[in-house]
Each structure stands twice: as C-alpha cells, then as structure tokens.
C-alpha cells in the first residue's frame, strides 16, 4: 500500500512547489545584490548536521551557517557535545539508494505519487511498503504525450535505523535525499526529500513557512490582477448608471425614428406604384393617338396592368401592330374572334394588352 502520508503530501507539494522554487530563486537573486559584510553581520549562524550514507556506513559532518561542512564527527555519540544543531540532513550516496528515469503519460502528472506507488514494483526491485521515495519531473519535451520523471528510492529499514539513532542523540531527521558527489551542480535537486513528514513535525515547519509565503505571493499576484479589473468594473458601473439616465430619451428617439421610417416606406410604396404604372389619363391619351379615325371604341376597361378595348373598325387586324408601337402598351392580342356588323360592315373586336412598366436605368 502506498504510504498514506506521501499521498497527503502530494497535493500540497503540487501546489506549493512552483512558488517555493520562485521564492528560492528570488531570495538568491536578492542575496547576490547585498554586500557580503552586511549578510555576515545580520545573518544568524546555524548548524546543520549531515549524515552521509554509503551502503551501510555513515559519516557525520557539521556545517556552520552557509559554509562548507568541515567538522567531522565520529558518530551519533559525539553529537551530544555539539549545541544548537538546527537541522539534520541524511545524504544517500549512490551505493545506498536507487535512482532511475521513468517515462509516464503526461496526464498522470497531477497524481504522480499514486501512479509511482502503483508502478514502483515494476520500476524498481521493491514494493511500495519497502522503500521511501521521491520524484521530480525533469523532461516534458523528448517524447510527445509523455513526461520524464526522475525517481529516487531508499530501503525503509536503512532510513528507519538512521532516524532511530538520531533520535537517541536528541536529533530529528528533517531531510533524506540522494546526492551524488561527482554530479554537476546543474542537476541539483534542493527540494528533494524522501522522508514522509507528519503534519506537526519540526521538519515540516520550513515547508509550512514556504507555503505561507507562497500563499502571500499568490494573494499579491491576485491583487495585481484584480485591481485593474476592479477599476474597470467601477467604470462600467458608472457608464451603466449614465446610460440608465439617458435610456428613456434614447428609446423615445428610436420610436420616433421607427415611425418616420414606416411613414417613408408607405409613401415610397405609393410613389413607386404611381411611377411604375402610367396614369389612366396617359393610357386614354395614348389610345387616342394610335387608333385611326375609322375606328371607334364602345368600351375601355383598365384593371391593374391589363387594358381591354371594345369597338368597331374598318380594319381591326391593323390595330394590333399600332397598339404594339405604343410606349405604354405591349402584348396586344384579340381577346375574342373578330365579327362583322351586318348593318355597317365594320369589324367588331375586343383587344387586350398589358401596360408597359417603366424601369429605372
């Protein structure tokens, strides 16, 4: 079974790890800008005990402040003579720990602790309950859809024995990490820690401080983002208030504009109709011009665009061509057969034609 404490630690590490990296980089950059004399004057000297483990052998060394570990101690029995040891770090050499690379689906990054716990017996010779392990994502580019994960693991009995020996000397181990002394600084992994911490342990207090600083930095970032949005929101509220005051007048103007457009549309409709079709007076005048003197009309009917004339003529057949030559009439044809009037020998006719529609060129 995957260690429960490691599961509880995974969500917090996933959230705080980027902020912790940023804060560590920021502090290093600020520290580089401060003269060394000032740093030495105001920095508090602290002692860190390093336990280097190579296979089954342990070598203890003491570091004063941020300097190198120069003071060597024979064993945990000699630690009781040293005061003010603030931190105990166990560093595992290549002979005491296992390190390997694994490639996993990118979707598993949010739950890497669980995935590695299930896959540990495949990736290493150990089962999850036999080792302490830690991991970090080192590669997101070499394989599409996969991430490169560096995994370090150490047998639990070895770590438990060192933790027990340290506790007998009044020390609490806060960090257990893998360290290759021949490895370049570019591959350093300062936040590595294979030791599962309990929520109230002293070793977890720096992590909590980093988490608090990360939360503060996140809140400041949110404030930087939210302030322009707040100003913009207030500006929008002021504009909305102004719009509410002029909205009635704008609605009234829109109503008047709509009425004007409707009236103009109706007026344009009648105007278009009048222009498109010639007036009846023009039709009567045109018929008077084209019909010869030996023809007289008994009836004239105008219905829409259709004109029908009834009458008698000496030569009814020539009326069709005469009407076709008109500028206002077209498609002239007999609506009924031509007959002879026996009393005056004239042709009786009924001719129907269409009014020519004028189109703008």
- pLDDT tens profile 146-166: 888 888 888 888 888 888 888
Let me know whether 241 and 120 are in one domain: no
CB-based burial of residue 3 (10 Å sphere; 0-12 exposed, 13-18 middle, 19+ buried)? middle
Query: Looking at the DSSP assignment, which residues form a beta bridge with residue 92?
Result: 53, 178
Let me know whether 225 and 270 are in one domain: yes
Tokens of 204: 């977890």
Top-confidence range, 33-37, 138-142, 267-271, 335-339: 335-339
Let me know whether 143 and 262 are in one domain: no
Let me know whether 85 and 192 are in one domain: yes
Let me know whether 272 and 284 are in one domain: no
Let me know whether 39 and 118 are in one domain: yes
The CATH number that applies at residue 48 is 3.30.420.380
Interior CA angle at 91 toward 89 and 96, to 5°?
140
> Number of structural domains, the chain?
3
Which of 255, 276, 297 is where one domain is finished?
276
Measured distance CA(147)–CA(125) in Å, rounded: 22
Looking at 29-43, 184-198, 221-235, 240-254, which range is the least confident one?
29-43
| Residue 21: CB atoms within 10 Å | 14
**Interval 210-255: pLDDT, tens:** 566 677 777 777 777 777 888 888 888 888 888 888 888 888 888 8
Look up residue 108 and give its DSSP letter: G
Query: Looking at the DSSP assignment, which residues form a beta bridge with residue 153?
Result: 98, 133
Let me know whether 271 and 348 are in one domain: no
Let me know whether 124 and 190 are in one domain: yes
Measured distance CA(159)–CA(53) in Å, rounded: 10
State yes or no: pLDDT of 13 exceeds 60.
Answer: no
Question: For residue 267, what are the contacts with CB-CB under 8 A and spacing of at least 6?
Answer: none
Q: Whole-number mean pLDDT of the chain? A: 76
Enclosing domain of residue 305: 280-355
State yes or no: pLDDT of 201 exceeds 50.
Answer: no
Whether 46 is in a domain gets the answer yes
Q: Which of 147, 77, 52, 150 is nearest to 109 (CA)?
A: 147
What local confidence, expressed as pLDDT, does residue 199 receive? 37
Measured distance CA(113)–CA(11) in Å, rounded: 9
Measured distance CA(154)–CA(182) in Å, rounded: 19
Let me know whether 206 and 269 are in one domain: yes
**Interval 62-94: pLDDT, tens:** 777 666 656 666 666 666 556 667 788 888 887
**Interval 252-285: pLDDT, tens:** 888 888 888 888 777 777 666 665 555 677 888 8
Query: Looking at the DSSP assignment, which residues form a beta bridge with residue 89?
Result: 50, 175
């Amino acid at each position: 079974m995957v260690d429960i404490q490691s599961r509880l630690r995974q969500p917090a590490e996933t959230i705080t790890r980027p902020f912790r990296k940023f804060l560590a980089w920021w502090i290093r950059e600020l520290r580089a800008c401060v003269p060394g004399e000032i740093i030495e004057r105001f920095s508090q000297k602290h002692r860190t005990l390093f336990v280097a483990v190579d296979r089954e052998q342990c070598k203890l060394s003491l570091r004063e402040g941020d300097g190198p570990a120069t003071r060597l101690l024979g064993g945990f029995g000699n630690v009781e003579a040293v005061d003010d040891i603030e931190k105990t770090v166990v560093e595992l050499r290549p002979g005491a720990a296992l390190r390997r690379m694994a490639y996993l689906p990118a979707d598993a990054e949010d739950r890497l602790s669980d995935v590695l716990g299930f896959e540990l017996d495949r990736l290493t010779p150990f089962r999850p309950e036999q080792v302490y392990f830690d991991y970090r994502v080192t590669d997101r580019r070499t394989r599409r859809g996969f991430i490169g994960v560096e995994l370090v693991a150490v047998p639990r009995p070895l770590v438990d024995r060192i933790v027990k020996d340290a506790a007998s000397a009044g020390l609490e181990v806060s960090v257990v990490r893998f360290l290759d002394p021949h490895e370049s600084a570019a591959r350093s992994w300062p936040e590595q820690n294979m030791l599962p911490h309990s929520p109230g342990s002293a070793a977890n207090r720096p992590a909590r401080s980093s988490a608090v600083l990360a939360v503060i930095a996140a809140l400041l970032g949110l404030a930087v983002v939210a302030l322009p949005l707040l100003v913009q929101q207030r500006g929008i509220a002021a504009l909305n208030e102004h719009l509410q005051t002029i909205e009635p007048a704008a609605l009234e103007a829109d109503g008047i504009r709509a009425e004007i457009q409707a009236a103009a549309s109706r007026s344009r409709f009648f105007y278009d109709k009048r222009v498109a079709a010639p007036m009846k007076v023009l039709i009567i005048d045109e018929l008077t011009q084209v019909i010869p003197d030996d023809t007289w009309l008994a009836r004239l009917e105008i219905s829409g665009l259709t004109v029908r004339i009834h009458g008698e003529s000496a030569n009814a057949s020539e009326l069709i061509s005469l009407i076709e030559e008109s500028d206002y009439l077209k498609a002239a044809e007999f609506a009924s057969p031509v007959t002879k009037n026996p009393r005056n020998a004239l042709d009786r006719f009924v001719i129907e034609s269409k009014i020519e529609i004028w189109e703008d060129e």
